């Protein structure tokens, strides 16, 4: 019980800060003897609490993002529904070879984010547009990318936050802290859809004591992660995202 709650706390903090807490809780549950699908579902239900506290902690950074989020939110929800459906109907090994590739791509986008934003700003200036303007083509790409990450998040959830920050960093003229705030909100919605889907369709396959322990730990962890994550400089936050992502990539490969 102590180990599961501690893993939940660490996952809640990392999810608020970066977004790959499942890479802590999922292997912990599997190591303790829980079946992979039970671990995935129980973990998804439990981490909703941490997503709530992490999103609340970043609420100030969400200001002014409503016009874009009103397109991203439906994309995340639709993707999450499809991802949850796939988890319940496809073998658990289907994404085993795809997840590491997606994570590497996301980390590359996180690293190159500032350069991509600078390039986009220069093109906007040459075209006579504001550097803050998001073109229709980029908005379409953003919505499609958000949907794709939603599918992945509804299926597995691990590292979906890193994928979201990578996609947004490549397409949006936003600071990494504001993107992190949007990531927390979108990941929360995906986690809620996944948790509700699992609860309705596979109630008996969820370990509710485990979900409760993870919920309690992640709720506190989300508060701590948001409190200290908001104080990090953009460079420090990007470094943290990449470091945690590389560790997560190692864990995914070794688990496979």
pLDDT digits (tens, 9 = 90+) for 156-184: 766 777 788 878 877 877 777 888 889 89
Q: Please determine, for residue 110, whether its predicted confidence score (pLDDT) is greater than 60.
A: yes
Q: How far is CA 124 from CA 179, 195, 212, in A?
A: 20, 41, 49
Quote the crossing angle between the two packed helices 208-229 and 2-17, to the nearest 10°: 40
Report pTM. Answer: 0.79
pLDDT digits 0-9 by tens, 81-107: 998 888 777 765 665 566 677 667 766
What was the pLDDT predicted at 172?
A: 79
Taking 90 as the threshold, does the pLDDT of residue 61 lie above it? Answer: no
Instruction: State the CB neighbour count (10 A cutoff) for residue 127.
Output: 9
pLDDT of residue 102: 65
Distance, CA of 205 to chain centre = 24
Q: Could you read off the pLDDT of 117-145 as tens digits, one per residue?
A: 566 556 555 555 544 567 788 889 999 99
Residues 47/216, Cβ–Cβ less than 8 Å: no
Which one, of 51, 78, 7, 45, lies nearest residue 181 by Cα?
Answer: 51
More confident residue, 75 or 249: 75
Report which of 167, 181, 182 is spatially closest to residue 108, judged by C-alpha positions.
Answer: 167
pLDDT tens across 12-55, in order? Answer: 988 888 777 777 787 788 778 888 778 878 888 999 999 999 99
């Amino acid at each position: 019980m102590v180990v599961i709650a501690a893993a939940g706390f660490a996952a809640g903090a990392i999810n608020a800060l970066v977004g790959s807490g499942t890479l802590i809780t999922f292997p912990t549950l599997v190591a303790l003897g829980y079946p992979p699908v039970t671990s995935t579902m129980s973990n998804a239900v439990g981490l909703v609490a941490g997503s709530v506290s992490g999103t609340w902690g970043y609420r100030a950074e969400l200001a002014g993002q409503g016009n874009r989020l009103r397109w991203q939110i439906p994309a995340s929800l639709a993707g999450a529904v499809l991802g949850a459906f796939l988890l319940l109907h496809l073998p658990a090994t289907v994404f085993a070879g795809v997840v590491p590739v997606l994570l590497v791509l996301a980390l590359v986008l996180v690293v190159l984010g500032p350069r991509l934003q600078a390039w986009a700003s220069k093109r906007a200036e040459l075209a006579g547009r504001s550097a803050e303007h998001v073109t229709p083509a980029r908005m379409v790409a953003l919505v499609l990318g958000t949907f794709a990450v939603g599918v992945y998040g509804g299926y597995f959830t691990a590292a979906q936050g890193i994928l979201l920050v990578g996609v947004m960093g490549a397409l949006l003229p936003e600071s990494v802290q504001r993107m992190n705030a949007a990531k927390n909100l979108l990941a929360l919605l995906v986690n809620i859809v996944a948790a509700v889907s699992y609860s309705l369709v596979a109630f008996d396959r969820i370990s509710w004591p485990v979900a409760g322990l993870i919920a309690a730990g992640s709720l506190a962890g989300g508060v701590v992660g948001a409190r200290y994550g908001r104080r990090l400089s953009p460079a420090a936050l990007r470094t943290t995202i990449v470091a945690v992502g590389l560790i997560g990539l190692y864990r995914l490969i070794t688990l496979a």
